[in-house]
Amino acid sequence: MRSIHINLSPFKKSLYFIIPNDEDSSEDSTILKQRKHKYDGHEFIYIVEGELTVIIEEQEFVLKENESKMFDARKIHYWYNYQNKPVKFLLVSSQ
């Protein structure tokens, strides 16, 4: 699995693509997980394609295509893709 991150500075916007490797057939190889983190600001996630699980202070949100979530980034948060399919999402953060 690989992740492509495009930084659209100076606006603190990012576009992420999470893509499973075709040659990887093991179930564990499809998992991509962000480290738990927090910072002063806000985050907005919009799902372009696929499904992404977002954890905000131990509360789980499963976002699907055309769904979004905005939250206070001072709360501990992270996201992951457990699907064996790519997920494309737009992440906008402010600091």
Cα 48 from Cα 94, distance rounded (Å): 20
24-72 pLDDT, tens digit per residue, is: 444 444 455 667 888 888 899 999 888 999 999 999 999 999 999 999 9
Q: Structural domain tally of the chain?
A: 1
Backbone CA torsion sign across 88, 45, 48, 65: positive
Cα 50 from Cα 84, distance rounded (Å): 10
Cα 62 from Cα 64, distance rounded (Å): 7
Cα 73 from Cα 77, distance rounded (Å): 7
Task: Output 8 or 40, whichever has higher pLDDT.
Answer: 40
Q: Reduced to 3 states, what is the DSSP secondary structure of residue 4? A: strand
With bands split at pLDDT 50, 70 and 90, how would you rate the model's confidence at 6?
low
State the CATH number of the domain containing residue 36. 2.60.120.10
Q: Which domain holds residue 12?
A: 2-94
